[in-house]
Amino acid sequence: MLRRRLNRLLSGDERRVDSRTIYVGHRPCPATEAFIPPKFCDNRIVSSKYTVWNFLPKNLFEQFRRIANFYFLIIFLVQVIVDTPTSPVTSGLPLFFVITVTAIKQGYEDWLRHKADNEVNKYLVTVLEDGRRTRKESEKIKVGDVVEVEEDETFPCDLILLQSSRDDDTCFVTTASLDGESNHKTHYTVPDTEKDLESLNATIECEQPQPDLYKFVGRMHIYKNDQEPAVRSLGPENLLLKGATLKNTQKIFGVAVYTGMETKMALNYQGKSQKRSAVEKSINAFLLVYLCILVSKALVCTTLKYVWQSNPGQDEPWYNQKTQREKDTNLYLKMFTDFLSFMVLFNFIIPVSMYVTVEMQKFLGSFFIAWDKDFFDPEIQEGALVNTSDLNEELGQVEYVFTDKTGTLTQNNMEFIECCIDGFQYKYQDAASELDGFCVTDGPLSKLQQKAGREKEELFLRALCLCHTVQVKESTGQGDGLMNQVDGLELDGEVVRPEDQRGFIASSPDEVALVKGAMRYGFTFLGLESKNMKILNRNNDVEMYELLHVLNFDPVRRRMSVIVRTKSGDTLLFCKGADSSIFPRVRQDEVDRIRMHVERNATEGYRTLCVAYKKLTAEEYAQADTGLREARLALQDREEKLMAVYNQVETGMSLVGATAVEDRLQEEAAETMEALQGAGIKVWVLTGDKMETAKSTCYACRLFQRGTELLELTVRTLEEGGRKREERLHELLLDYHKKAVQDAAPVKAGVTRSWSTANQDYGFIIDGATLSMVLNSSPDANSGLYKSLFLQICQNCTAVLCCRMAPLQKAQIVKMVKNSKGGPITLSIGDGANDVSMILEAHVGIGIKGKEGRQAVRNSDYAIPKLKHLKKLLLAHGHLYYVRIAHLVQYFFYKNLCFILPQFLYQFFCGYSQQPLYDAAYLTMYNICFTSMPILAYSLLEQHIYMENLLDNATLYREIAKNAMLRWGPFLYWTLLGIFHGLLFFFGVRCLFSNPALQDNGQVFGNWSYGTIVFTVLVFTVTLKLALDTRHWTWINHFVIWGSLAFYVFFSFFWGGIIWPFLKQQRLYFVFANMLSSVSAWLVIILLILLSLLPDILLVVLRKPRGPHARQKPVESSTGGPQSPRSSARPLLMRTFSDESNTVI
């Protein structure tokens, strides 16, 4: 005690020691010692990002970290400070709009987080203080406070259970919001604590906060009247976690050990970071290229200007004398301001309005997901939800899907299917059809209606009724309210007696399924009273068994047992577990009779369990009882000592039979997984569940096929061979790497998995404990090598299963893959709060609106009612969103290059005087009005391939994988197209101007007429180019395309036809009308538009479509099945879609 106190005094930081000491009720122990209260963090939860004071500077800083935003800010400041050819409004207005809209959106999202935090922090709880029950806010709880929690309340912090209202000193909790398990778990009070907590003097010594939900090590010192303090060991069974809910227990008292951001739930919470899509990264890369082009143009023009002015008479002609101020200006300063002026003049090559259009496209496009009727679920009367519209296109680029199992792949609804007793198969049909409710369908000798002996049947059913940790809750007459808390007794077509209307509470749903299965055949478990288990047998007699010991299930043994004593004094051990765990411990002749049934059930995807029993002699029981009691009191190596006793007593058993339980899959789960794998997406299952259950689900979902070779890296495989775990881990990793990576056939480029049936498919299985060893290897081991080997093995497997995962481990797995070579796009999907960390970590997070709360939905980017909706979300919506935004980005750069290249060429003919080619109104309106709406409509409505075809042919998803449409090849194509069109516009019009007499009266056109003709050709060409690229025509497309062109003509007439009083100079007065009076101008405009679009027109007319049309709706083939249309890859990449001439209007 003195050493601990000195440590705290001298170091001042309790985090430096490996353990913390907590004084229960803040009372010094023993009472004679001086009490120095240790300092721990308070119980506030903070998930928000901003405060009122830091919102503006922090948000602006984050937004101006974007290259484009920072660039536009600089240009705006240059326009304000330097005398430039264009107004500051042209850059400032779009920038202000984008910054304001984004700030409002992010501010609102953070306000919601503040609101949620306040709900948790201001929640009133009951705390015992000086013998009084005090109500205080949750955030004011301190470590050491004794807290009272009532039924159906959530625990406000991590508590050690001191007292329960139940007679057996237990309580039941659900941890759905932590690990996704909706079943009831049993927790135990610390033995020998005072009934009156006010007189309890105790200290708790436990480990420092750490995120593993399934681990807790501590001990409690109880002081009584100058006696030697009693020491009681503490484990996870004594710890009640924040976020869990108390069930089937009136109230409990517990002492706070971890509070606030140190609770296990908070440590498993990943802060919500700003997610950026791959498209945005491509935009930034393209912006840098265009920025270089801009700077190059400005440098060329500035240099040539001063070269030209160095000629005699060019710098100061007689008609344009310099002022004294201009003569006194420093030459280098004048060159710099000229450079900035050219930068502003050519600034429109950087698409200012692209970010506004992209934001609008993402925001408006997200409504199509919310409006999709296929996503509507009649059960919950809800459809899809979009929380983050920034990532729509990312849905079309997913390479890895990380999915939860319980509640996501499965319904978490176990059902007893059949059983096998002494080699004979029993399948339940209807209890009324036979006296005992059994229907034998086949047997090892293929003799129908052959049964096992009645004695064997009853022994098997007694084992099902006794070998479990199920609790019974009597009906309280609340009707449906009970069904929400426990698994009700629902017997198919049977009348249940009123006294049997009770619910079952269990830590695992398959235990409830087995107890219900026994009920169907006449054996009913009535409950546990004072360590006595009661069974109602077929004859309606109540049998009593004294429960002596429960040998709990663990993933290494893969079995659990109970030791009971009958009324006649016999001691029996009943054991159930996985076949691989039970078979070596029973006689071989018994195994042969049952193995066939077990293997058949496993291949059908059922969860199989084998049941065995053993009659213990008095000596055997005495030895086992002593060993178990000693092991449970051990403070060190407790698990190893218990395991040794378990293995000793669970030998020489007799095999009675086996069961088959089905965990029903979500609707269309297998089809969805198959479609994702067909699209080249790798699926990883990350679950907190047991390995056997998860493996069965993977087979049922077709993630593992019958021919898949499973590579297992679990605690069980590490303990085989009797060597150190580290050595065995290294050996297995090298072995699996050789098998799955080195010896595997090379995978073709662009295909993420091998589809050849000649190659061996591998599946990988790892558990949480082994993953910790891989990721957090000891310093002397080569942890980097382990991680690298593990990742390479996983990436070469068709599917990966990670079981017994803590929430933070799920996030670690996602982060590891996300940061691997190539930066693959990851997606996480789950339905519980235990999935929140991986949902936040992945590029795209999807929540399922399931039964386990809405934490996953609140923290996700997208929420869908069922797993089956993921297929359409990715293969149809994701595909189309990516194609649309890729075209939008490439088209914006193209049309702005067409726009500004003639302006650059014009400088060579105007003495580099920074003379604009276009009028200021045209400069401002080009991106905002004349060309913005058609591309916005295209990016919202385009369907180059029908949705039905995208869903039928999952391989189409691979054509756009790895950001295919925003790579440097397509970008170069669009850039060269823009240069070609820009040169054609400028020099085509210049050819026209080589003839001086363009009007009937012999007058010549001026420079504004020249610019207006170029601008007219430009607007019509880029708009009609988009019309040629459009494959899915709607009335909106027609309206905005032809409407934009009509608006340009109307505006030009209107702008030049009126004398505007607020303009100092009106450059375009009657220029447009005058221009159109010339037949030559009309001819050149039409000719240049046709010449520019000629390549596209020829491609559409001449190229023969290859394969079935992508624009055709699915039609029945001669064989009766739907055809799978597929588009050509090249036009898709070049963004012309020219091979698909069957345009729908």
- Nearest residue to 747 (alpha-carbon basis) of 710, 810, 796, 681: 796
Q: How many CB atoms lie within 10 A of CB 583?
A: 20
Grouping H, G, I as helix, E, B as strand and the rest as coil, residue 548 is strand
- 3-class SS at 157? coil
Cis peptide before 38 (omega within 30 of 0): no
Determine which one of 338, 372, 404, 487 is catalytic.
Answer: 404
Judge whether 605 and 700 are in contact, CB under 8 Å: yes
| Cα-based distances in Å from 430 to 73, 419, 425, 433, 1134 | 77, 15, 16, 6, 64
DSSP letter, residue 954: G
Distance CA 191, CA 169 (A): 9
Give the β-pairing of 826-830 and 400-403: parallel
Helix (H) or strand (E) holding 294: helix 278-309
Residues 6 or more apart from 599 whose CB is under 8 A from it?
none
Residue where the block lists tokens 């009913």: 524
Q: Please, are residues 853 and 247 in contact by the beta-carbon 8 Å criterion?
A: no
CA angle 947, 953, 955 (to 5 degrees): 120
404 catalytic residue (yes or no): yes
Q: Please state, in angstroms and as integers, the Cα–Cα distance from residue 1078 to each residue in 398, 566, 918, 1087, following that order.
A: 55, 112, 20, 14
Q: Tell me how far apart the alpha carbons of residues 432 and 418 are, in angstroms, rounded to a whole number.
A: 17
Are 259 and 42 in contact by the 8 Å Cβ rule? The answer is: yes
For residue 270, give both structure tokens: 């990943």
Tell me how far CA of residue 979 lies from CA of 205, 915, 982, in angstroms.
74, 21, 5
**For strand 424-427 and strand 410-421, is the pairing parallel, antiparallel, or unpaired?**
antiparallel
Q: Encode burial over 213-232: b for 16+ CB neighbours within 10 A, e otherwise.
A: beebbbbbbbbeeeeeeeeb
Angle at 785 (CA atoms; ends 556, 834), nearest 5 degrees: 50
Contacts of 55 (CB under 8 A, 6+ apart): 107, 110
* Sign of the CA dihedral running 1106, 1108, 1110, 1112: positive
Environment class of 391 (CB within 10 Å of its CB; exposed 0-12, middle 13-18, buried 19+): buried
Give Cα 838 distance to the centre of its chain: 6
Instruction: Report the C-alpha gap between 885 and 358 in whole angstroms.
Output: 8
Euclidean distance between CA atoms 217 and 233, whole angstroms: 8
**560 three-class SS:** strand
Structure tokens at 244: 């869990």
CA distances, 54 to each of 49, 57, 856 (Å): 10, 6, 28
CA torsion sign, 904 to 910 to 913 to 919? negative
As a dihedral over the C-alpha atoms of residue 935, residue 940, residue 941, residue 947, rounded to 10 degrees, the angle is 130
Report the run of H or E that residue 324 belongs to, with start and end.
Answer: helix 324-328
Question: Which residue type does 719 have?
Answer: E
Return d(Cα 865, Cα 10) in angstroms, integer: 56
Alpha-carbon distance of 159 to 144, in angstroms, equals: 9
Note the residue count of the chain. 1145
CA angle 980, 986, 991 (to 5 degrees): 115
Which active-site residues does the annotation give? Answer: 404
